[in-house]
Amino acid sequence: MIGFTLPVWVVAAAMSATKTLIGNKFQDNELINLPNKEESIRVPISSSALLDNGERSLAVCHCQSGLSLDITRGLVVWAYIQLNKVTGHSETKVENGFPDWLDFCAGYGVGKFKSSGQPCISDFARDLLCINLYPLLPKGYSIKVEIVLPEGKDLALKTSNQAFGVVDGLSLIGTQADVQISASPEQLKHCIEILKHRCSESTFDGCLTFVIGENGMDLALKYGLPAKQILKTGNWLGPLLVAAAENGVKKLLLFGYHGKLIKLSGSIFHTHHHLADGRLEILTSLAVRERISFDLIELISKSTSVENALLALESNHSDAVALIWGRMAKEIEIKSRNYVNRYLTSSIEIGSVLFDRKRQIRWAGLQGLKQINSLGLILKS
């Protein structure tokens, strides 16, 4: 079964709680309208009830992602709703991405940007909330929506959220209703179809950038990489490297979080953590090849994660970290090119650009630096 992304369940719970608060009879499912589409989807709801003498309401649902290994599978979502009377009439204003009639609160377990304290929520999730809640809003009222994910804070520790400046819980960053199975053959097939289409367009200039997920996509766009060149790959990097070469890509940039792309420097070309890890072992090997001192190599090998190893080194051994970053980027380019050459002869140039857990772009291989410079962008090392 293919399930729905977290924003869909959040909206379904919010709709159910809103209907309960305005006096509708509870239904065990909600019909969700999708942005820019005529279709809608039905989403099951577990329960809904009035609170505080009818001043607020609460609805509960359980995420069904359709994937046995997905972190949100079975996740409980609570949506608290409160209506507030407004006086006068004015044009709708937008603040922090939300219209003034919608007060969205990231409760316990919902991720927030550490830098601003604002909820980490995608445009898709915002739009989904607005188009489904506004028709339910009584005239002369605004609505307060507080979302709580009771297990969100603990589950977030198993994700790379902190790598992207998100703390305290899970992000609501889905960009579509259906779950994309980044580790499945179906997702690989879908990505190859998109790649072929891009390469067949009359405006295609032979350049592509691969990003693995939503955070990589977001940072690539903010950094100034051309949107028409960016392809979100999921975890199937190996076959997509070959497909890029087969379809006439001349310059390919791998733009991503070091915790993912480091695997390529160790010749692991499917990056999903359920399939293969070995990152600390690869990092240790990179340090050995750069002739880092034995004490630092031992520190790396005993760390609990790549991020923690690099943070420990950065505090007192910045020169060693710079050497490791450089070797990592270089090896990603070499190993990726070697992977392609196993299957076909190609002149494709593969570059790498890496960013860290603070969303700072840290290093690039020779080809990556060359491609970035050709776009007129500045790499901060």
**pLDDT in the model for residue 226:** 92
**pLDDT in the model for residue 66:** 60
Intervals of the chain under pLDDT 70:
1-2, 37-38, 66-70, 88-92, 95-96, 163, 175, 178-185, 272-276, 378-381
Backbone phi and psi for residue 308, each to the nearest 5 degrees, phi listed first? -65, -35
| Token code pair at residue 78 | 């609570």
Instruction: Using DSSP bridges, classify how beta strands 230-232 and 169-170 pair: parallel, antiparallel or unpaired.
Output: unpaired
Query: Residue 13 and residue 9: Cα distance in Å, rounded?
Result: 6
3-class state of residue 80 by DSSP: strand
**pLDDT in the model for residue 137:** 95
Query: Residue 247 and residue 340: Cα distance in Å, rounded?
Result: 13
Sign (positive or negative) of CA dihedral 266, 313, 167, 224: negative
**Type of residue numbered 360:** Q
Beta bridge partners of 350: 252
Query: Residue 230 and residue 220: Cα distance in Å, rounded?
Result: 8
| Listed residue (64, 83, 176) closest to 127, CA to CA | 176
**pLDDT in the model for residue 363:** 85
Query: Residue 19 and residue 219: Cα distance in Å, rounded?
Result: 38
Backbone phi and psi for residue 50, each to the nearest 5 degrees, phi listed first? -80, 150
Which letter does DSSP use for residue 342 in this model?
H
**pLDDT in the model for residue 127:** 93
Angle, helix 318-343 to helix 237-246, in steps of 10 degrees: 60
**pLDDT in the model for residue 145:** 97
Instruction: Report whether 339 contacts 269 (CB < 8 A).
Output: yes
| Listed residue (363, 359, 357) closest to 380, CA to CA | 363
**pLDDT in the model for residue 1:** 44
**pLDDT in the model for residue 219:** 85
**pLDDT in the model for residue 312:** 83
Strand (E) or helix (H) holding 210: strand 207-211
Domain residues of the chain, as ranges?
6-170, 185-374
Query: Residue 50 and residue 68: Cα distance in Å, rounded?
Result: 33
CA distances from 27 to 54, 144, 333 (A): 18, 21, 54
- What stretches of 259-365 adopt beta strand conformation (E)? 349-355, 361-364
Q: What is the pTM (predicted TM-score) of this model? A: 0.63
**Type of residue numbered 147:** I
Residues contacting 245, CB < 8 A, separation 6+: 340, 344, 346, 348
**pLDDT in the model for residue 90:** 54
Residue range 6-170, CATH number: 3.30.2110.10
Beta bridge partners of 30: 43
Exposed, middle or buried by CB within 10 Å (0-12, 13-18, 19+), for 374? exposed
**Residues 181-225 pLDDT 10s:** 444 567 778 889 999 999 999 999 999 999 987 778 888 888 889
